[in-house]
Structure 1
Amino acid sequence: MTQQTHILQQDISFLRALAEAGQRTPFTFGPFLLAGGLVFGVASVIAWAASRHLLGLEPDAIIWIYGIAMCVHGVCVFILARKANLTGASSFTNQAMARVWQSIGWCILTVFLAALLIMWRCQTTLVWALFPSLILGLYGTGWLVAALISGQKWLQFVAGSSFVGALLSALFINSPYLFLLYGSLLVLLLAVPGGVLMRKQNAVA
């Protein structure tokens, strides 16, 4: 019992130290989220236009639209990682958050590929029905971790809004405006907060 108490105290001390470090060090992942929100937000608008037969594309084109968006986002991440001069990027806080968002990115890619396999095996596109809600839920998790580490209350609001957006996307699953809603939420809950973090980081640099 004493050993368990000691371990718990160590964990609490670690989280407290991490939170204090997060409050002192500006987050440096803002540009990456800004790029992601804009790229996939635009992709969602294009997907909406394709779903409304405004572009003369087949329904399956939506999959390719998001696949291309993933490639474009990958290029953006590569360029930002090489060219960005990010003060504090080597801090433990930012290293931890980088791992969190990288893990979320790999999870999204894995689910995307799994959905393609399910669609191929079952010959159904219904597998994509949960995709917007899943993505927004993962983003909400990332923002919640960021809020916990930094102690910034506004990030809790972004996290909560992401979870609400995930539920809202589920309600709009049969609506022709789902892709517009999803694109708007990506801009509001990914690009805009990313821009705010980038502005805060530039102010400190």
Structure 2
Amino acid sequence: MLCPWLLTAIPFRSLVRCAMIQDNHSLQQDISFLRALAEAGQHTPLTFGPFLLAGGLIFGVASAVAWAASLHLLGFGPDAIIWIYGVAMAVHCACIFILARTTPVTGAASFMNQAMAQVWQSIGWCILTVFLAGLLIMWRCQTTLVWALFPSLILGLYGTGWLVAALISGQKWLQIVAASSFIGALLSAIFINSPYLFLLYGGLLVLLLAVPGGVLMRKHNATA
């Protein structure tokens, strides 16, 4: 006569085996989905190039103006740099609003482009949140040192966005852009006490945001 615990163990083992089979099946489906997504990405034009081109140029110019302001070349007050980037952020939001309604939507309905749109929107919201948090910290602590890490943080976030774009689209050259963004973040930290920090930061934004965005826009227009 079988013990009661043995009677209950038999169906339990069967359930575990069945669950393991289902998990393996789900894992295989996920792997197949990711493989299909990567293969499709190699043939699907990325549509977010104009947004990054605009962002790189706007904030690149803003950084050049901030550099001039930091050297008192424009006659602005000590808080001018904050207002310069605040205005640049408002102009960028207006450009995004316009581009979202005028940019050709060829390929925009693909899952890959929808995913990348969510990635870059999330990065944008993160930057806005950090900017507002920086204002609050500056107000509470009466210090501008909170902005010391800002260029490195932004470039690190951009590097993350490019890395995700490279992995999803399968375009290897975007990995170089991502790595360069991470290196740029470290380079900005080295120049933290230099008067040329804002100039360096602006150049990196143009090089690592506007230029790749223009390349993506050109590729998209070529396949449209």
TM interval, shorter chain, is over 0.9
Tell me what 1:198 maps to. Answer: 217
* CA apart distance, 1:91: 1.0
1:58 to 67, 71, 77: 77
Question: Does 1:152 find its partner at 2:142?
Answer: no
Distance between the aligned counterparts of 2:178 and 2:152, measured in 1?
Answer: 13
Tell me what 2:25 maps to. Answer: 6
SS in 2 for 1:131: helix
1:78 to 80, 97, 103: 97
Distance between the aligned counterparts of 2:111 and 2:197, measured in 1?
Answer: 38
Distance between the aligned counterparts of 1:170 and 1:8, measured in 2?
Answer: 41
**Structure 2 unmatched ranges of 5 or more:** 1-19
Distance between the aligned counterparts of 2:126 and 2:26, measured in 1?
Answer: 30
TM alignment of 1:92-171, pairs within 5 A:
92-171=111-190
What letter corresponds to residue 23 of structure 1 in structure 2? Q
Distance between the aligned counterparts of 1:162 and 1:7, measured in 2?
Answer: 35
**Structure 1 unmatched ranges of 5 or more:** none
* CA apart distance, 1:10: 2.5
Question: Does 1:33 find its partner at 2:13?
Answer: no
Distance between the aligned counterparts of 1:59 and 1:10, measured in 2?
Answer: 57
SS in 1 for 2:67: helix
Q: Could you report, residue by residue, the CA deviation over 1:96-141 in whole angstroms, capped at 9, with x for unpaired residues?
A: 1000000000000000000100110011111100000000000000
SS in 2 for 1:161: helix
Distance between the aligned counterparts of 1:123 and 1:7, measured in 2?
Answer: 53
Tell me what 1:45 maps to. Answer: 64
Question: Does 1:23 find its partner at 2:52?
Answer: no
What letter corresponds to residue 172 of structure 1 in structure 2? F
Number of residue pairs aligned between Structure 1 and Structure 2: 205
* CA apart distance, 1:15: 1.4
* CA apart distance, 1:57: 0.5
- Runs of 4+ in structure 1 deviating by more than 4 angstroms, as ranges, are none
* CA apart distance, 1:84: 1.2
Instruction: Provide the TM-score with structure 1 as the length reference.
Output: 0.98
Q: How high is the sequence identity, in percent, across the aligned residues?
A: 84
CA radius of gyration, larger in: 2
Instruction: Provide the TM-score with structure 2 as the length reference.
Output: 0.89
* CA apart distance, 1:157: 0.1
